[in-house]
Amino acid sequence: MAEDQGKARPVARPLAPHLQIYRWPITMGTSILHRVTGVGLSAGTLLLAWWLVAVSMGPDAYAEFADLASGWFGRLVLFGFTLALVYHAMNGIRHLFWDAGIGLDLKAANNSGIAVYALSIIATLLIWVAAYQSMGAWQ
Amino acid sequence: MNMRTPLGKVRGYGSARSGTQHFWQQRLTAVALVPLTLWFVWAVVRYTGAPYTDVVAFLSHPISGVAMLMFVLTGIFHMLLGLKVVIEDYIHSEGSKVALLLLSNFAALAIAATCVVAVFRIVV
């Protein structure tokens, strides 16, 4: 059977789905990113637990947490955490609209996908601007 | 030919014996997490760089404590439902799959318990 097929097909045609030349649809990107951010946020629950434990243990433990969180690496991780949370929340709301049967046609799904990308970046930046202002106000 | 019993049809649980429970719980927690996440982001922004005593004063208020626990517990439940789907979709060897599902459940319980104890210690 396999040998017969080999003879009948002399030309080595590309096999689907051939991901190198496949143009990702917008909805595919948003869907994969929803899962990736979801798994990332699962790891992020450890940061949340660490924060709460640090507050519960007293000023010294909290100072240790604040030092690490405000370092360049801490800020990088927290920025990623913010972006993941905002994206997952916004795309999640998009999913809830789909569950209600709204915006399911191709054009609407593509547009809402682009809107979620743009709004996630804007909202994340706004949250960080607000956090920096809040930090300045406490000093 | 339909081999399903009348009782099975009425219950509507299907072969997985849970019906749409997983789907529904995922949506229910998602809806709950919309306002809770807004509150959480507001709280973190508000208390970024705040002195220790102010953070404790905020979290030890009963409303903040309850809201924080609702956010943590709803979030972890939502996380478990999501991780289950991801694990079942990508891990095909039965042993690894069951092991990862167990691990995700135990880890989630440990994190949830840690957060509950921490918030209680802050509030009380």
| Model confidence pLDDT, tens digit, residues A94-124 | 999 999 999 999 999 999 999 999 999 999 9
pLDDT at A126 over 70: yes
Q: Confidence class of residue A4 from pLDDT cuts 50, 70 and 90?
A: low
Contacts of B37 in chain A (CB under 8 A): 85, 89
**To the nearest whole percent, how much of chain B has pLDDT over 70?**
99
B114 vs B22, B40, B111, CA distance in Å? 25, 18, 5
What is the pLDDT, as a whole number, of residue B9?
Answer: 83
Identify whether the C-beta of residue B61 lies closer than 8 Å to the C-beta of residue B119. Answer: no
Q: Using the beta-carbon criterion (under 8 Å), do A45 and B83 form an inter-chain contact?
A: no
> Nearest CA to CA, how far is A57 from chain B (Å)?
8
Set of chain A residues whose Cβ sits within 8 Å of the Cβ of B68: 52
Q: Decide if pLDDT at B79 tops 50.
A: yes
Q: Which residue of chain B is at minimal alpha-carbon distance from A78?
A: B44
Mean pLDDT, chain B, rounded, equals: 94
Mean pLDDT of B6-13: 84
Residue B33, pLDDT above cutoff 70: yes
pLDDT of residue B6: 87
Per-residue pLDDT at A1 exceeds 50: no
Closest CA–CA distance from residue A118 to any residue of chain B (Å)? 18
Q: In this complex, which of B56, B68, B79 lies closest to A45 when CB atoms are compared?
A: B79
Cβ neighbours of B71 (radius 10 Å)? 20
Least confident of A27-41, A85-99, B7-21: B7-21
Instruction: Output DSSP code: residue A56.
Output: H
A45 and B76 in contact by Cβ < 8 A? Answer: yes
Among A52, A96, A135, beta carbon nearest to B30: A96
CA distances from B17 to A19, B2, B11, B14, B20 (A): 37, 18, 9, 5, 9
pLDDT band at B124 (very low <50, low <70, confident <90, very high): confident
Nearest CB neighbour to A55, from listed B37, B48, B56: B56
How far is residue A75's CA from residue A81's CA, in Å, rounded to a whole number? Answer: 10
